[in-house]
């Protein structure tokens, strides 16, 4: 069967990885033509790293970048986190794929609608 | 003063504590949102100068440009800022998109390469800022990853962010759509090109970054 591989990566797996491991995994898999769905999204600084590294890998007629879609981060209402001044932002589900194959049709606060095409 | 000098006391540490740091403000947004048009408008209004050239071809600004000590007076108060006009943020850059604007292949590839470097520079500047004016095209869907990423960065660092909902001179613009997407942040509907609501923007800048 011909098709596009879709990998759903759990929050537990992501929690056990460093920022650089996550970014490297995402770029390697996306460059292999996979679409990734991350149960828990990337932190803002991880998103920055991913954008930077993506830019360094863009090459004409080879790789034009990534399509990434996530819901806006949420404030974490955990009282203890707030009390101790911990970062209270909660990242959310994120979809990432090759820009040439994944195209967002519509996105709002609670829905990401995308079109996936074969290379 | 002479005695102080003779005693070798210059009190620079005291000045450092009490002197307010000049805020460094970045103008961010996706390509073609009107960042440089806004930067030019601000500089023309307050310094008589301009920041850079504008074009309808995406990624016209491919190097961050900085102007120091821009004083904005509004509502009886003055704020002096360092303003950084950044290249448009993106997660993809395809040189074919530039060819659609009539550029040849070599020129398009060069522009794409420079654009990727510009995006990296814009991301790096995020660590150096005290606040951001996020320019959004009010005719476009506000839930772009660029907007989500920039807002997430500012919220994580607890830094002030002001949304400029640009291009309200166009008939299909909808600042209300942006406001409903990001209600937690102040928003000013503007036309950087026509100057609509620009005084309101200056008032908000003085209030949030002063």
For the cut 90, the answer to whether the pLDDT of residue A79 exceeds it is: no
The residues, any chain, with a CB within 8 Å of residue B46's CB and separated by 6 or more, are B70, B71, B72, B73
Which run of H or E residues covers position A105?
strand A102-108
- Which residues of chain A neighbour B148 with C-beta distances below 8 Å? 70-73
User: What pLDDT was estimated at residue B139?
Assistant: 96
B138 or A75: which leads in pLDDT: B138
B26 or B3: which leads in pLDDT: B26
Specify the 3-state DSSP secondary structure of B152: helix
For the cut 90, the answer to whether the pLDDT of residue A110 exceeds it is: no
Domain range for A84 is 6-116
B2 or B92: which leads in pLDDT: B92
Summary mean pLDDT of chain A: 88
Q: Which of B127, B132, B152, B180 to mutate to test the interface with A (most CBs of A within 10 A)?
A: B152
Domain range for B103 is 23-209
Query: B177 in a domain, yes or no?
Result: yes
Query: A78 in a domain, yes or no?
Result: yes
Specify the 3-state DSSP secondary structure of B165: strand
The shortest CB-CB distance from B119 to any of A55, A66, A91 is to A55
What's the pLDDT tens digit per position in B42-70? 999 999 988 888 888 899 999 999 999 99
Report the half-sphere exposure of A47 (CA within 13 A, side-chain side). 33
How many structural domains compose chain B? 1
pLDDT confidence band for A88 (50 / 70 / 90) = low
Query: A29 in a domain, yes or no?
Result: yes
Specify the 3-state DSSP secondary structure of B202: helix
For the cut 80, the answer to whether the pLDDT of residue B4 exceeds it is: no
Q: Are A67 and B93 in contact (CB < 8 Å)?
A: no
Mean pLDDT score, B108-134: 95
What's the pLDDT tens digit per position in B92-102? 999 999 999 99
- The CATH number covering residue A55 comes to 3.30.110
Burial of B90-128, coded b for 16+ CB within 10 Å and e otherwise, reads: bbbbbbebbbeeebeeeebbebbbebbebbbbbbebbee
Return the DSSP state at A71: P
Give the residue carrying structure tokens 């995994």: A25
How many structural domains compose chain A? 1
Query: B147 in a domain, yes or no?
Result: yes
For the cut 50, the answer to whether the pLDDT of residue B1 exceeds it is: no
What's the pLDDT tens digit per position in A11-48? 999 999 999 999 999 999 999 999 999 999 999 999 99
Q: Could you tell me how many helices (H) and strands (E) chain B has, helices first?
A: 8, 6
- The CATH number covering residue B177 comes to 3.40.50.300
Instruction: Please give the Cα distance from B155 to B150 (Å, whole number).
Output: 9
User: What pLDDT was estimated at residue B16?
Assistant: 46
Query: B161 in a domain, yes or no?
Result: yes
Which run of H or E residues covers position B209?
helix B198-209
Query: A1 in a domain, yes or no?
Result: no
User: What pLDDT was estimated at residue B180?
Assistant: 92
Query: B198 in a domain, yes or no?
Result: yes
């Amino acid at each position: 069967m011909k098709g596009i591989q879709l990998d759903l990566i759990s929050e537990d797996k992501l929690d056990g990885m460093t920022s650089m491991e996550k970014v490297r995994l995402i770029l390697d898999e996306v460059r292999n033509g996979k679409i990734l769905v991350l149960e828990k999204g990337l932190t803002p600084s991880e998103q920055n790293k991913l954008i930077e590294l993506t830019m360094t890998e863009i090459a004409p007629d080879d790789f034009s970048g990534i399509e990434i879609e996530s819901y806006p981060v949420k404030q974490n209402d955990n009282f203890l986190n707030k009390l101790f001044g911990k970062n209270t932002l909660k990242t959310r589900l994120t979809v990432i794929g090759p820009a040439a194959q994944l195209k967002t049709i519509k996105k709002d606060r609670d829905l990401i609608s995308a079109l996936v095409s074969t290379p | 003063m002479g005695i102080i000098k003779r005693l070798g006391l210059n009190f620079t540490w005291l000045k450092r504590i009490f002197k307010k740091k000049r805020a460094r403000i970045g103008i961010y947004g996706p390509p073609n949102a009107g960042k440089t048009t806004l930067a030019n408008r601000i500089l023309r209004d307050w310094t008589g100068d301009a920041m850079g050239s504008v074009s309808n071809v995406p990624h016209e600004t491919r190097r961050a440009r900085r102007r120091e000590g821009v004083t904005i007076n509004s509502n009886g108060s003055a704020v002096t800022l360092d303003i950084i006009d950044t290249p448009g943020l993106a997660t993809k850059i395809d040189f074919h998109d530039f060819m659609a604007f009539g550029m040849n292949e070599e020129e398009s590839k060069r522009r794409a390469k420079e654009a990727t470097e510009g995006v990296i520079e814009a991301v790096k500047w995020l660590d150096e800022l005290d606040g951001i004016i996020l320019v959004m095209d009010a005719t476009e869907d506000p839930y772009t990853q660029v907007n989500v990423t920039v807002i997430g960065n500012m919220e994580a660092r607890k830094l002030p962010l002001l949304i400029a909902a640009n291009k309200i001179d166009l008939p299909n613009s909808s600042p209300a759509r942006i406001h409903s997407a990001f209600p937690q942040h102040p928003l000013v509907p503007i036309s950087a090109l026509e100057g609509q609501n620009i005084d309101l923007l200056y008032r908000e800048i003085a209030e949030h970054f002063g």
